[in-house]
């Protein structure tokens, strides 16, 4: 039977299908798109996003050395456990890469995500985290060695010849690991524990992503752009509750599927166009979710009640399919969506030749975005302790965001900022993180209404203090600072720029603010908020004779003529009594402030102690003890 069309030509074959739906558009680039793409690639090169050939060669050399080390390590363990000489000869471990390095989008100074796959008789708890750890600790090339055995995905972090390495371990059900092991095959998951499954899935997901995109090079360039944009805009951090590398890779890969013939400049604008309209919590998926006889749990809100509470599901494409963005909260999703709106508005201007690519990648001015902040100071006795203590605390900072959301019924919104800061004037090891605070848009506060977050922060501190490897000197302080009181060390030049002088990048912030506000309020409300901001800025600009850079105390300040404070002591942790830290009854004492100064409308300020107002709602702050 002749299947020719009436005009005699053969029928066109259906376009290849990528993903679970048909493409939105099969259109290719116009001349203007090609020109914008050339300008984009030039911008990426000028921004230093590509590593040199020398650095690439050094990475390959380091990976080769790590491969040699783990092979020797496994052979030693095989011999110690009485296996035959032939088994010792054949024994080995294999190194795989994943993350940005495997996807081909890493930049200068980026770490290398690596996975060590070993035989069934080499375990993680003792062999990896103790024996291999000790081997690495004795090597001169290895610095900043930090084991994190209790993480969701256990990892050993270190630098090898100056290159950052994140090393995972998975033990598979084979006595001998072949050099050509195919970890994309489901059979590799037979008889392995869940931690090994999560470790193996990093590599399996990376391989699947590269198989499921129509054009790998276009995907890589677009992903490199989005990772750079996310870091500049302060939304690149899985641990803080935003999105990490694999999340951004999956989001970009889905856009590549929806626009299979688009070039990177087109993919970038389509990215923002699609995700500003995405109706979360509808999941982003590159392929259908499949179940297997192995029985590992997969993401399915119909069966798993816990999955129903995920706010921004981004599903991994390799079995067992999981939500890679379970850390995202209501507050961080709000921030991400605001930044998507901002990016979409700028891309529209770029397509109209009203803006350049550098406008899209302007750094987010976090410390000018809010009137109130929480400052989280992490301190320890020495630098090595700080590395471990900071890792533990940072991984749980998102819990503070969740607790504040919970205890204020979502009325108080938190914006955790993923960057860490160091005050070089302090002689002891420390670092600081910050959270922006604001009242939920559209919620009117009643006079005298308060957010009492003393108990919230106290609960958070108690959970932090349960660190298994806690040592004397490790402590955490949480304090409230107003925008005008922010310490100088958070600013790039070591001092605050005058707000009267508009920085070029503030044009970006103004555009983003206009886009966000146009979707959330009337013109009348915007004018009122502008007047409120000006009034607060004027009030905060009054001179203060109090030192706010120190780690301060806890205050509960009520609206009225007198201020009564409850002081929470947090510096009483010692090696003999962790229980005392958890005894709340012994940690409170009441004191009365005799010389409280009123700064209008019932806001009290004492030396080092200030009340926190968010658009006329008083928030009680909870912080640590006076200077250590």
Q: Are residues 235 and 197 in the same domain?
A: no
What pLDDT score does 241 carry? 93
Residues 226 and 282 in one domain: yes
Residue 99 assigned ligand-binding role: yes
Whether 292 is a known active-site residue: answer no
Quick one: pLDDT at residue 492? 79
Residue where a domain stops, chosen among 310, 329, 361 = 361
Residues 320 and 342 reside in one and the same domain: yes
Asked, for residue 621, whether it belongs to a domain, the answer is no
113 annotated binding-site participant = yes
In the listed set 335, 361, 387, which residue is the last one of a domain according to the structure?
A: 361
Q: Is residue 559 part of a domain?
A: no
Identify the pLDDT of residue 275. 98
Task: Pull the structure tokens for residue 539.
Answer: 């009030």
Tell whether residue 246 is among the known ligand binding residues.
Answer: yes
Using one digit for the tens of pLDDT, what is the confidence trace for 128-157?
999 999 999 999 999 999 888 888 899 999
Annotated catalytic, 173? no
Instruction: Please determine, for residue 83, whether its predicted confidence score (pLDDT) is greater than 80.
Output: yes
CATH number of the domain that residue 427 is part of: 3.30.70.590
Residue 11: per-residue pLDDT = 54
pLDDT at 497: 62
Least reliable range by pLDDT among 264-278, 362-376, 476-490, 601-615: 601-615
The whole-number pLDDT of residue 446 equals 57
- 578 has a pLDDT exceeding 50: no
151 and 238 housed in the same domain: no
pLDDT tens-digit map of 13-41: 566 678 899 999 999 999 999 999 999 99
Tell whether 202 and 218 lie within a shared domain: no
- Say whether both 97 and 186 belong to one domain: yes
Q: How confident is the model at residue 501 (pLDDT cuts 50, 70, 90)?
A: very low
| CA 524/CA 413 separation, integer angstroms | 23
165 found inside a domain: yes
Angle at 613 between CA 608 and CA 619, to 5 degrees: 85
Is 227 one of the annotated binding-site residues? yes
Segment 181-221, tens digit of pLDDT:
999 999 999 999 989 999 999 999 999 999 999 999 999 99
Asked if residue 85 belongs to a known ligand binding site, the reply is no
Q: Is residue 560 part of a domain?
A: no
Report residue 47's pLDDT band, with 50, 70 and 90 as the boundaries: very high
Q: What is the mean pLDDT of residues 529-546?
A: 36
The predicted model gives 576-590 an average pLDDT of 29
Mean pLDDT lowest among 24-33, 354-363, 580-589: 580-589
pLDDT tens profile 226-250: 999 999 999 999 989 999 999 999 9
Note if 113 is an active site residue: yes
Residue 79 belongs to domain with CATH number: 3.30.460.10
For the question of residue 121 being annotated catalytic, the response is no
**pLDDT score at 520:** 44
Does the structure show a pLDDT above 80 at 615? Answer: no
Catalytically annotated residue among 111, 423, 452, 514: 111
The annotation status of 19 as a binding-site residue, yes or no, is no
Q: What CATH number is associated with residue 293?
A: 1.10.1410.10
Lowest mean pLDDT among 80-84, 182-186, 410-414, 574-578: 574-578
Residues 130 and 35 in one domain: no
For residues 349 and 245, state if they share a domain: yes
Catalytic residue (one of 75, 83, 92, 166): 166
Q: What is the pLDDT of residues 275-289, one digit of tens each?
A: 999 999 999 999 999
Higher pLDDT, 552 or 114: 114
Task: Based on the fold, state whether residues 355 and 374 are members of the same structural domain.
Answer: no
Q: Is 80 exceeded by the pLDDT of residue 591?
A: no
Phi, psi of 480 (to 5 degrees): -95, 135
> Annotated binding residue at 100?
yes
Q: Which of 92, 100, 324, 440 is catalytic?
A: 100
Residue 419 three-state SS: strand
Residues 6+ apart with CB under 8 A from 523: none
Q: Which of 361, 396, 421 is the last residue of a domain?
A: 361
Q: Is residue 575 part of a domain?
A: no
Q: Is the pLDDT of residue 52 over 50?
A: yes
Same domain assignment for residues 150 and 233: no
Question: Is residue 111 annotated as a catalytic residue, yes or no?
Answer: yes
Spatial separation of the C-alpha atoms in residues 400 and 610, rounded to whole Å? 21
pLDDT interval class at 7 (50, 70, 90): low
> Is residue 461's pLDDT more than 50?
yes
* Active-site choice (75, 83, 101, 113): 113
Q: Is 552 exposed, middle or buried (0-12, 13-18, 19+ CB in 10 A)?
A: buried
pLDDT of residue 611: 35
DSSP state of 238: T
Q: What is the radius of gyration, based on Cα positions, of the chain?
A: 27
Q: How confident is the model at residue 447 (pLDDT cuts 50, 70, 90)?
A: very low
pLDDT in tens, 472-486: 999 999 998 999 999
The owner of tokens 């060590």 is 116
Domain count, the chain: 3
On whether both 303 and 327 belong to a single domain, the answer is yes
Residue 385 lies in a domain: yes
C-alpha distance from residue 58 to each of 82, 88, 100, 304 (Å): 37, 30, 17, 45
Q: For residue 542, is pLDDT > 90?
A: no
Mean pLDDT of 153-174: 95
Active site residue 100: yes
Let me know the angle formed at the C-alpha of 155 by 149 and 156, rounded to the nearest 5 degrees. 95
pLDDT at 513: 57
pLDDT of residue 535: 37
Contact 378, 431 (CB under 8 A): yes
The whole-number average pLDDT for the span 392-407 is: 90
Strands of 119-154 (E only): list them: 142-148
Q: pTM above the 0.85 mark?
A: no
Indicate the average pLDDT of the chain: 80
pLDDT > 90 in the chain, percent: 64
**Domain membership flag for residue 415:** yes
pLDDT of amino acid 391: 86
Q: What is the mean pLDDT of residues 51-67?
A: 95
- Residue 40 is predicted with a pLDDT of 97
Burial class (CB in 10 A: 0-12, 13-18, 19+), 609: buried
Q: Could you report the per-residue pLDDT of 299-338, keeping only the tens digit for each?
A: 999 999 999 999 999 999 999 999 999 999 999 999 999 9
Is the pLDDT at 402 greater than 50? The verdict is yes
C-alpha span between 283 and 335 (Å, rounded) = 18
Start-to-end CA distance of the chain, whole Å, equals 88
128 and 36 in a common domain: no
pLDDT value at residue 146:
87
Please identify which of the residues 101, 169, 236, 373 carries the catalytic annotation: 236
Return d(Cα 124, Cα 616) in angstroms, integer.
53
- Mean pLDDT confidence for 348-370: 96
Predicted pLDDT at 590: 27
Residue 508 lies in a domain: no
pLDDT band at 431 (very low <50, low <70, confident <90, very high): very high
Parent domain of 110: 53-207
Predicted local confidence at residue 469, as pLDDT: 85
Instruction: Kindly tell me if the per-residue pLDDT of 595 is higher than 80.
Output: no
């Amino acid at each position: 039977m002749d299947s020719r069309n009436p005009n005699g030509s053969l029928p066109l074959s259906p376009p290849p299908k990528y993903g679970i739906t048909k493409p939105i558009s099969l259109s290719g680039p116009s001349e203007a798109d090609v020109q914008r793409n050339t300008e984009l690639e030039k911008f990426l090169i000028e921004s230093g996003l590509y590593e040199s050939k020398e650095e690439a060669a050094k990475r390959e050399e380091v990976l080769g050395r790590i491969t040699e080390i783990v092979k020797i390590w496994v052979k030693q363990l095989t011999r110690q456990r009485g296996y035959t000489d032939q088994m010792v000869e054949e024994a080995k471990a294999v190194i795989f890469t994943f993350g940005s390095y495997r996807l081909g989008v890493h930049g200068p100074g980026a770490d290398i995500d690596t996975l060590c796959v070993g035989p069934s008789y080499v375990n993680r708890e003792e062999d990896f985290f103790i024996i291999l750890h000790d081997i690495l600790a004795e090597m001169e090339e290895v610095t900043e060695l930090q084991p994190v055995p209790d993480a969701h995905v256990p990892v050993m972090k270190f630098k090898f010849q100056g290159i950052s390495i994140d090393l995972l371990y998975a033990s598979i059900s084979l006595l001998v690991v072949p050099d050509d092991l195919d970890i994309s095959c489901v059979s590799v998951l037979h008889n392995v524990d869940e931690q090994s499954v999560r470790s193996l899935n990093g590599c399996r997901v990376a391989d699947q992503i590269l198989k499921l995109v129509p054009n790998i090079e276009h995907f890589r360039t677009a992903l490199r752009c989005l990772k750079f944009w996310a870091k500049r805009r302060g939304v690149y951090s899985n641990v803080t509750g935003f999105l990490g590398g694999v999340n951004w890779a999956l989001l970009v890969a889905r856009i590549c599927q929806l626009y299979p013939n688009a070039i990177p400049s087109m993919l970038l604008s389509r990215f923002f166009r699609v995700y500003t309209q995405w109706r979360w919590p509808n999941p982003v998926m590159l392929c259908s979710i499949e179940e297997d006889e192995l029985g590992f749990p997969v993401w399915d809100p119909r069966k798993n009640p816990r999955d129903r509470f995920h706010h921004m599901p981004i599903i991994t494409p390799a079995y067992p399919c999981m939500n890679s963005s379970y850390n995202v909260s209501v507050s961080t999703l709000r921030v991400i969506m605001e930044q998507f709106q901002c990016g979409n508005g700028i891309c529209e201007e770029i397509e109209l030749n009203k803006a350049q690519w550098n406008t899209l990648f302007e750094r987010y001015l976090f410390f000018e975005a809010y009137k109130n902040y929480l400052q989280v100071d992490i301190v320890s006795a020495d630098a090595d302790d700080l590395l471990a203590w900071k890792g533990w605390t940072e991984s749980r900072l998102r819990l503070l965001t969740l607790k504040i959301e919970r205890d204020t019924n979502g009325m108080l919104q938190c914006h955790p900022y993923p960057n860490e800061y160091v005050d070089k004037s302090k002689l002891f090891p420390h670092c600081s993180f910050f959270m922006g605070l604001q009242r939920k848009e559209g919620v009117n506060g009643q006079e005298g209404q308060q957010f009492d977050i003393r108990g919230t922060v106290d609960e958070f501190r108690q959970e932090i203090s349960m660190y298994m490897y806690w040592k004397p000197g490790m402590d955490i302080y949480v304090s409230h600072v107003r925008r005008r009181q922010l310490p100088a060390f958070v600013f790039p030049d070591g001092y605050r720029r005058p707000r009267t002088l508009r920085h070029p990048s503030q044009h970006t912030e103004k555009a983003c603010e206009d886009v966000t506000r146009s979707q959330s309020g009337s013109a009348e409300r915007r004018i009122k908020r502008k007047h409120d901001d000006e009034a607060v800025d004027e009030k905060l600009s009054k001179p203060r004779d109090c030192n706010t850079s120190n780690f301060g105390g806890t205050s509960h300040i009520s609206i009225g003529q007198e201020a009564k404070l409850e002081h929470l002591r947090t510096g009483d942790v010692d090696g003999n009594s962790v229980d005392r830290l958890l005894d709340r009854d012994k940690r409170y004492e009441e004191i009365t402030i005799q010389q409280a100064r009123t700064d209008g409308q019932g806001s009290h300020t004492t030396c080092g102690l200030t009340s926190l107002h968010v658009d006329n709602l008083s928030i009680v702050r909870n912080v640590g003890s006076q200077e250590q």
